[in-house]
Amino acid sequence: MTEVTAERKLEITSGLEAAQARILRAEAAANRPPGSVGLVVVTKTFPAREIAVLAELGVRHVGENRDNEAAPKAHALADLGMVWHYVGQLQTNKARSVARYSSIIESVDRIKLVNALSRAAEEAERALDCLVQVSLDDRPGRGGAESAQVMGVAEAIEASPGLMLRGVMAVAPLDGDPDLAFERLAVVAGQVQSEHPDASTISAGMSGDLEEAVRHGATHVRLGSAILGYRPLVG
């Protein structure tokens, strides 16, 4: 693996420190205990060698959104013991590949995908944690189950061999108020948890809206550009 320049290492180190400080401030502002909000660093478009730098700095959870890119990175870094979160829209024909390296699929939004992931988990002989991705957009297209479908998808995960229901995930709408969106997510998360007490994870908050997400109960945030900088344009 080619080396990361000293300058880039410094950039990643200070990006990570700044993000950690920002999470601590958001926790304090929301009257939540320090350290109660987890961090997933979204590493999509950044090379494996930069993920290795994150590992050296103590990051354990990383997020990717395309199997074609994530699979080779995860396999190259398999020795580092990182937890790979899959956060992108997932086609059923990619389930087998994703099940081999990812331990938590955050973007489960339909029953057909639940079935594919369950078969894939059994084949890979791995247990997969799953979050139901909730659409907070009234316009479809960016993934996520509509409110009326969330409980059905949650049930299906709970009933499927190889899959563990852990909670919910969402992305705030591009043009809406993130406060309102995450407030809505908290209500849905409460409904899911009232039926499935162990499903306590709320994955919400990105570089632009982590404060709002933490205010509304996010248990982990997913940060990319705040830590790694602008994503190189690929493909």
Ligand X SMILES: *Cc1c(COP(=O)(O)O)cnc(C)c1O
Map residue 104 onto helix, strand or coil: strand
Q: Which residue in 68, 17, 65 sits closest to 42, CA to CA?
A: 65
Amino acid at 55: A
Contacting residue, 23, 171, 213, 218, with ligand X by CB under 6 A? 171
- Tell me which residues in 4-63 interact with ligand X (CB under 6 A): 42, 44
Q: Cα(105)–Cα(98) distance, rounded to whole angstroms?
A: 8
Map residue 191 onto helix, strand or coil: helix
- Tell me which residues in 83-122 interact with ligand X (CB under 6 A): 87-88
Listed ranges 17-25, 72-80, 114-122, 216-224: which one lies at the site for ligand X (CB under 6 A): 216-224
213 is a site residue for ligand X (CB under 6 A): no
- In the bound state with ligand X, the residue whose beta carbon lies nearer, of 154 and 169, is 169
CB 182 within 8 A of CB 204: yes
Q: Cα(166)–Cα(193) distance, rounded to whole angstroms?
A: 9
CB 215 within 8 A of CB 26: yes
- In the bound state with ligand X, the residue whose beta carbon lies nearer, of 162 and 166, is 166
Contacting residue, 104, 207, 215, 218, with ligand X by CB under 6 A? 207
Listed ranges 146-154, 159-167, 174-182, 221-229: which one lies at the site for ligand X (CB under 6 A): 221-229
- In the bound state with ligand X, the residue whose beta carbon lies nearer, of 162 and 206, is 206
Looking at the DSSP assignment, which residues form a beta bridge with residue 81?
none
Q: Cα(81)–Cα(55) distance, rounded to whole angstroms?
A: 9
Under rule CB under 6 A, how many of the chain's residues touch ligand X? Answer: 14
Give me the least distance between CB of 210 and ligand X, in Å please.
8
Q: Summarize as ranges the residues that interact with ligand X (CB under 6 A).
A: 42, 44, 65, 87-88, 171, 206-208, 222-226
